[in-house]
Every structure is written in C-alpha cells, then in structure tokens.
A = this chain, B = another copy of it.
Amino acid sequence: MIKAALSVLLVLVTMSSTFGKYIPKSGKRIPQTLSRGWGDQLIWAQTYEEALYWSRSRNKPLMVLFHLDDCPHSQALKKVFSEDNKLQKMLDEDFIVLNLVYETTDKHLSPDGQYVPRIIFVDPTMTVRADINGRYSNRMYAYEPSDVDLLKRNMEAAKKLLKSEL
C-alpha cells in the first residue's frame, strides 16, 4: 500500500516537472549545449567577440574550433578531443575556448580557407597565430584524431604568448 502510494507520488512529481511546458509537435528535444560534445566541463564562449574579450581581459590564448555535426572527420576528432583529460584540463585552466559551426565574417580565422575540422589559436593581443598549424600542407589547421599529441604541443606553443605591444 505504501509502495503503491510512493509510486503514484513519483509519477506525479515526474509529471509536474514537465506538466504544462511547451513541447514541440515533433516531440521533446534535448537542450543544445554550448559545448556541442567537445567538453561538457569547459566554459565555452558563445561568440567570437565574447571570446576575444575574455582572452584579452584574462590574458589567456583563445582556441577557436570550427566543426560540423554532419562531418565524420569532425565527429572522429570530437571523440578523441573530449575524452583526452590532459587536453581538457589544459583547455579549462589555460585557454579561452570557442567552438563554431558557422563561419565568422573575420577572414583572419580562415588563413587557408574554410574547412572543418579546423583549429585556430589567437593570442590575447588579438593576433591570429597562423604560425601554429597541423601536419597537412593543403589544410594547415586541420587535425586528425591521431594528431592529438601534436595538438597538445601546439597548445603549449600557444601558451607562450606574443609580447604585448602596450
């Protein structure tokens, strides 16, 4: 009897938490996260302007990551990227992070074209670090899942900040 009452209570509590809220005709959706799966524990900037502001004010380098949900290369890199604790820890502690599925109007972020996945580092002086690149000459800022150690070395390079002109 008590068990039955508890069950009813549980059902009521579950219902009340969603009861009356708007649900799309196509069914309930999972809320989109700013991480998009690239590191749920990181604090992601939403826009490039916001990321630049954080980078300057906290004097930390910025990593901008271009990717697409329907690109298998992006998805393969995402798996390795999100599961590498050393990489995630460095990003969390020493970097400002931004991931984008839509290109910005700033051409400096596509030094050799717009492709995904593509990782660009930006110094707190707002200088795009075109000198920090991956191993592919035709797509200088692309990384494969097997390039994750190179990516971490590049992050170390990006942590050595350019001298501020101020």
Interface residues, chain A, CB within 8 Å of chain B? 20-24, 28-29, 31-35, 39-41, 43-44, 46-50, 53, 83, 85, 88-89, 92, 100-105
B28, B43, B85: the one within 8 Å of A20 (CB): B85
Tell me if A22 and B100 are in contact (CB < 8 A): no
Q: How far is the CA of A49 from the CA of B102 in the complex (A)?
A: 8
Q: How far is the CB of A95 from chain B (nearest CB, A)?
A: 13
Q: How far is the CA of A35 from the CA of B22 in the complex (A)?
A: 14
Q: How far is the CB of A114 from chain B (nearest CB, A)?
A: 13
A-B pairs with the 10 shortest C-beta distances? A22-B88, A50-B102, A31-B40, A31-B33, A22-B85, A32-B34, A47-B47, A29-B41, A22-B41, A24-B41
Q: How far is the CA of A85 from the CA of B23 in the complex (A)?
A: 9
Tell me if B101 and A46 are in contact (CB < 8 A): yes
Tell me if A43 and B47 are in contact (CB < 8 A): no
User: Of all chain B residues, which has the CB nearest A87?
Assistant: B22
User: Of all chain B residues, which has the CB nearest A22?
Assistant: B88
Q: How far is the CB of A63 from chain B (nearest CB, A)?
A: 15
Known: A49-B105, A104-B49. A31 touches B35 (CB 8 A): yes
Tell me if B104 and A47 are in contact (CB < 8 A): yes
B50, B85, B89: the one within 8 Å of A101 (CB): B50
Q: How far is the CA of A33 from the CA of B92 in the complex (A)?
A: 18
Tell me if B49 and A28 are in contact (CB < 8 A): no
